[in-house]
Structure 1
């Protein structure tokens, strides 16, 4: 699929703080569809109201703008640095440039507390969750759940790849108290642990989770992840296998992505202990990696992402990238 961009081939900026396998796949998919893909670090972008009518400087695009933006990664930094980087994405959206996923959706998905709240608000099955700065309130939640024989998972509010996860409450017939919250930046995000369903398969003794990739409102690929322990992230050593998820699980993943307003998302779900054919949503990833999933599926994931961007986002957008004036603006 090809769309007409300003001055010829559509130019797509891939916002990333590091280049590698994912960016190479995206650039290949763009080239195969007659588009130009360029990697840009958001840290190198800036606001400059003297530069051009639109007030932004995007390296590699002179005084113009890209026709579309794919967000592949946003580097960590100070609160001010991250605010500026997200502000660039907000500004691009305000200028009519399709941003995939846009800053609003990314802000919702990187904040696990907001993700849980939005899922709950939308009536989507997700484990009970407590998010607080109050140590006494967090301790009471741990003690109350522990007294009922349940464990909670303590997670960093902003985090990925299974880093920093630990169980508290009733864990392996012992009580584990809430640890110091300084390593968690003084915020307790506590999610009720969902025990794995009983199974005779020793390879699945620790259970599994599903990663479902949702693109443009459709579940396009899925896998099951098995860990040597209760954490099932590939970055923590889990193995993955292709999976045909139940229709109800796929539909739940699609609803979760829609609840956060995401164009594409990696949705993590676990089977319900009482009803393994059903699931609960654990997390929704708005800047999802897909290398593990690509290794077990035949579909071209990068191609699916680019086709969705071009067909659903870019083809209907006014072309502003060449520096055309807008009403009230100066070229």
Structure 2
């Protein structure tokens, strides 16, 4: 594998360096490539510096041979738009961006994710996204009257933060709270899937790389939220037996619907089979790697170098 990346310089876009970036740098070094961490917030548009108009700190007038997006810091609408604009610009200049800006835009917006999954015919819970508190409250009351609960989620949230159950919850009506703060005056509501009657609630995380489901874990939380960051217990979920093949098919279709090079796809069980609840385009994998004992960073790097970079060279132009 070393010749595949020999001499290549890869920018790892991240707002924080740590275990994940070290894993990626190690995998790149093993293939003869160099991985440099860079925060998109530090990349400048400067049309006086080079023909391409971008200034990447530490790169001079050059561009990287490829970009691997590990994290994008939050910020104002203007800040996030500018950072994604840099990724768009790099792709337009011929630099492979993994995942690219369009895919990240689709996956970071939970409402757009739900819409695209629905349009692709992929099983996913009913959802609503609206800005009217009055209409949202009416919707919650209607669902509650039918004995159903909804999950209110921040449109751009992650790691299970800010999730609230509303509607008919544990035998009582829970109204919609004010939509300020983390919700940004937007009600993104997803119909809650009840846990199976014969076992505790849980969900699955499936890692898709290059269009193929590579590994999966089952997550069981202390309550109704099953994110590893919220203390869920995890164990490996085989993809070649039992529910595994259905999980793999669903996760691969979800990643394809959003145009993702790699994705963490979250699914829950339902009577009809697995249902996709979220798709993460900047997925962490420490918990999955620990549970499944698989080499995730090498998978990502190999897919980037083989499928996206291939024989490309000479992209470091001024």
Residue equivalent to 2:292: 297
Q: Distance in 2 between matches of 1:209 and 1:101?
A: 24
Alignment of 1:54-73 (within 5 A): 54-73=52-71
Residue 131 (1) aligns with residue 129 (2)? yes
Q: Which stretch of the first structure deviates more once superposed, 314-323 or 152-161?
A: 314-323
Q: Cα gap change, 1:54/1:2 in structure 2, threshold over 3 Å: closer, same or farther?
A: farther
Could you tell me how far 1:322 is from its partner in structure 2? 3.5
Q: Cα gap change, 1:4/1:244 in structure 2, threshold over 3 Å: closer, same or farther?
A: closer
Q: Cα gap change, 1:113/1:3 in structure 2, threshold over 3 Å: closer, same or farther?
A: farther
8 A Cα contact 1:98 1:317, kept in partner: no
Residue 22 (1) aligns with residue 25 (2)? no
Could you tell me how far 1:163 is from its partner in structure 2? 0.3
Q: Distance in 2 between matches of 1:2 and 1:55?
A: 32
Residue 315 (1) aligns with residue 310 (2)? yes
8 A Cα contact 1:3 1:310, kept in partner: no
Could you tell me how far 1:80 is from its partner in structure 2? 1.1
8 A Cα contact 1:96 1:318, kept in partner: no
Task: Give the superposed CA RMSD.
Answer: 1.2
Q: Which runs of 5+ in 1 are unaligned?
A: 324-331
Q: Cα gap change, 1:12/1:164 in structure 2, threshold over 3 Å: closer, same or farther?
A: same
TM-score when normalising by structure 2? 0.96
| Aligned match for 1:281, one of 276, 283, 291 | 276
Q: Distance in 2 between matches of 1:116 and 1:123?
A: 11
Could you tell me how far 1:2 is from its partner in structure 2? 4.0
Could you tell me how far 1:83 is from its partner in structure 2? 1.0
Q: Which runs of 5+ in 2 are unaligned?
A: none
Q: Distance in 1 between matches of 2:42 and 2:64?
A: 15
Residue 229 (1) aligns with residue 223 (2)? yes
Residue equivalent to 1:83: 81
Residue equivalent to 1:195: 194
Q: Distance in 1 between matches of 2:72 and 2:313?
A: 26
Q: Cα gap change, 1:156/1:166 in structure 2, threshold over 3 Å: closer, same or farther?
A: same
Deviations, residues 74-103 of structure 1 (Å, cap 9, x unaligned):
111111111111111000000000000001
